[in-house]
């Protein structure tokens, strides 16, 4: 019985990921940016630590976007009309995504600035 529950938990988690990727328009941008960052990591042959930094930034942005999706869904479920606290919850969750995206940009600048400068200038 526990194996079934564990299996079902993984299926539910996967369904949540699929929902976030299909329903959030910003996920498309995040996917393109993630692909570019990972491709650049291979192109510039960055070290293990730098590659892990890039991957952690990518996953951090995806996780923040999924948490934002969850907050928005929960707020929408509870509130049928405008409420100032609903706006606060959604804005704060969106702010977390913004922070994650800025962090990812900083990681990209730190990791790739040296290689880009050497190869192109």
111: closest CA among 32, 58, 61?
A: 58
Exactly one of 24, 50, 65, 72 is catalytic; name it.
65
Catalytic residue flag (residue 24): no
3-state secondary structure 50-119: HHHHHHHHHHHHHHHHHHHHHHHHHHHHHCCCCCHHHHHHHHHHHHHHHHHHHHHHHHHHHHHHHHHHHH
Centre a 10 Å sphere on the Cβ of residue 26 and count the other Cβ atoms it contains.
14
Centre a 10 Å sphere on the Cβ of residue 20 and count the other Cβ atoms it contains.
19
Collapsing DSSP states into helix, strand and coil, what is residue 46? Answer: coil
By annotation, the residues acting in catalysis are 65
């Amino acid at each position: 019985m526990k194996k079934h529950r564990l299996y079902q938990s993984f299926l539910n988690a996967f369904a949540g990921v699929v929902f976030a990727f299909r329903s959030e328009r910003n996920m498309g941008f995040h996917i393109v940016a993630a692909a570019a960052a990972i491709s650049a990591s291979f192109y510039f042959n960055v070290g293990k630590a730098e590659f892990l930094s890039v991957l952690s930034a990518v996953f951090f942005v995806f996780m923040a976007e999924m948490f934002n999706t969850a907050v928005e869904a929960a707020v929408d479920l509870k509130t049928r009309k405008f409420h100032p606290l609903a706006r606060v919850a959604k804005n704060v969750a969106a702010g977390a995504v913004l922070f994650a995206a800025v962090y990812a940009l900083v990681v990209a600048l730190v990791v790739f600035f040296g290689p880009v400068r050497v190869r192109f200038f």
